[in-house]
């Protein structure tokens, strides 16, 4: 059992989405012009997906949204409610009620902004074997505004936090809110953590990503996301993941006292920890194919496990090992859900 942490020590901002998850044939992806392991924003042509999943397949509703997932996992490992505070926007509907209930049950202190005339966001999770493809219809999540963070009670929560985590996905919604949280973290000399989240963020939202990057103390990403960032930056095409990591940490940084750290995952290959010019590897326990339920939420769970130790002031290697533990656990469960008590030992 961890010693008692300050409530609200960790603040996260992101897109609260209800995952509608179902196993589908590959042809389903092809029909919608999607690829295996995609993560995309829904366009008009994708809109029928959600109803089709519910009506034609064994669909499950799971609490989703990348940051909220990470915070739920962190809370599960910490076993102390309300360590994590979450900000995001939902509609005024049943889906929002489900998300609220799931957050509360997990111990996350969710402070949703409500957009009464927009439905709560959904994410179609298309499971094909051990792969997952995501198609997010942000809907209400896209309506988040900075004035929600300026309400006195919410501003106090942000000011009192010691750690801040925001997904790259949130760059598509409200960059001013991200910059506000980043500036607060910087002014108070507190760690600001961010995630590259998906290749399309680097491809289409590089400007707001580069605007916030000088504030980022720890950047997370997987190999596809790191390569997409490198390509969008015009870096040499033959750079390996280690070199990309070194360049990520060398990007301009406002607080040079706290050099940036990059943590890059690569599926069942070792996690890379890049600090200065040094790269360390942390092995990942391979799962047998029959143990894998789906990989949806594995990256979110990795961050959740990491955060659970990081907010306790644990060393980076303990944080990463806990991230690997959490990701391995989530892969054996549907979506970003957990079962039983956490069994991580330092």
* DSSP of 284-307: -PPPPGGG-S--TTHHHHHHHHHH
Q: Are 217 and 193 contacting, i.e. CB atoms less than 8 angstroms apart? A: yes
Helices (H), the chain: 26-31, 49-56, 66-78, 94-106, 147-150, 152-160, 175-187, 199-204, 206-212, 223-232, 241-250, 298-310, 316-331
pLDDT digits over 290-306, tens only?
777 766 678 999 999 99
Active-site annotation, residues: 300
pTM of this structure: 0.93
pLDDT given at position 294: 63
- What are 20's strand-pairing partners? 61, 124
Rounded-to-integer distance, Cα 156 and Cα 145, Å: 17
Mapped onto helix, strand or coil, the DSSP state of residue 10 is strand
Domain spans of the chain, in order of start: 10-16+65-120+139-331
Which of 40, 18, 38 is CA-nearest to residue 26?
Answer: 38
Rounded-to-integer distance, Cα 98 and Cα 77, Å: 22
Q: Are 190 and 164 contacting, i.e. CB atoms less than 8 angstroms apart? A: yes
Cβ-based burial of 22 (10 A; exposed 0-12, middle 13-18, buried ≥19): middle
pLDDT digits over 158-213, tens only?
999 999 999 999 999 999 999 999 999 999 999 999 999 999 999 999 999 999 99
N-terminal to C-terminal alpha carbon distance within the chain: 12
Cα distances (angstroms) measured from residue 142 to each of 17, 67, 251: 11, 15, 29
Which residue is listed with tokens 């079962």?
Answer: 339
pLDDT given at position 296: 66
Q: CB neighbours of 324 closer than 8 A, spacing ≥ 6?
A: 271, 282, 284, 285, 302, 305
Which of 109, 135, 113 is CA-nearest to residue 124?
Answer: 135
Mapped onto helix, strand or coil, the DSSP state of residue 155 is helix
Q: Are 65 and 123 contacting, i.e. CB atoms less than 8 angstroms apart? A: yes
Question: What are the residue ranges in the chain where pLDDT is below 50?
Answer: 1
The CATH class for the domain spanning 10-16+65-120+139-331 reads: alpha beta
Q: CB neighbours of 72 closer than 8 A, spacing ≥ 6?
A: 63, 102, 103, 106, 107, 108, 304, 336
Angle between helices 316-331 and 298-310 (to 10 degrees): 150
């Amino acid at each position: 059992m961890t010693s008692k942490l300050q409530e609200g020590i960790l603040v996260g901002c992101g897109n609260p989405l209800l995952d509608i998850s179902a196993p589908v044939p590959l042809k389903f992806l092809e029909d919608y012009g999607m690829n295996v392991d995609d993560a995309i924003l829904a366009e008009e042509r994708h809109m029928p997906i959600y109803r089709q999943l519910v009506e034609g397949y064994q669909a499950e509703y799971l609490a989703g949204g990348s940051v909220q997932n990470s915070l739920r996992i962190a809370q599960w490992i910490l076993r102390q409610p309300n360590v994590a505070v979450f900000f995001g926007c939902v509609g005024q509907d049943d889906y929002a009620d489900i998300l609220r209930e799931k957050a509360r049950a997990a111990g996350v202190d969710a402070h949703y902004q409500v957009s009464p005339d927009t439905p709560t966001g959904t994410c179609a999770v298309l499971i094909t074997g051990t792969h997952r493809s995501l198609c997010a219809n942000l809907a209400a999540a896209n309506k988040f505004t900075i004035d929600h963070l300026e309400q006195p009670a919410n501003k106090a929560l942000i000011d009192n936090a010691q750690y801040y985590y925001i997904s790259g996905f949130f760059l598509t919604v409200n960059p001013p809110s991200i910059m506000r949280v980043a500036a607060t973290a910087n002014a108070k000399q507190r760690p600001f953590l961010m995630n590259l989240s998906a290749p399309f963020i680097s491809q289409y939202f590089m400007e707001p990503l580069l605007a916030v990057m000088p504030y980022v103390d720890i950047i997370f990403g997987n190999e596809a996301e790191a390569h997409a960032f490198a390509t969008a930056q015009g870096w040499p095409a033959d750079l390996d993941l280690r070199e990309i990591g070194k360049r990520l940490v060398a990007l301009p940084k406002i607080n040079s006292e706290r050099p940036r750290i990059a943590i890059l995952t690569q599926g069942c290959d070792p996690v890379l920890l890049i600090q200065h010019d040094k790269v360390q590897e942390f092995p990942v326990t391979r799962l047998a194919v029959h143990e894998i339920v789906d990989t949806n939420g594995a990256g979110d769970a990795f961050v959740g496990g990491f955060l659970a130790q990081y907010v306790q002031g644990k060393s980076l290697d303990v944080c990463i090992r806990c991230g690997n533990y959490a990701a391995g656990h989530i892969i054996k469960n549907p979506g970003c859900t957990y079962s039983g008590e956490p069994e991580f030992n330092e």
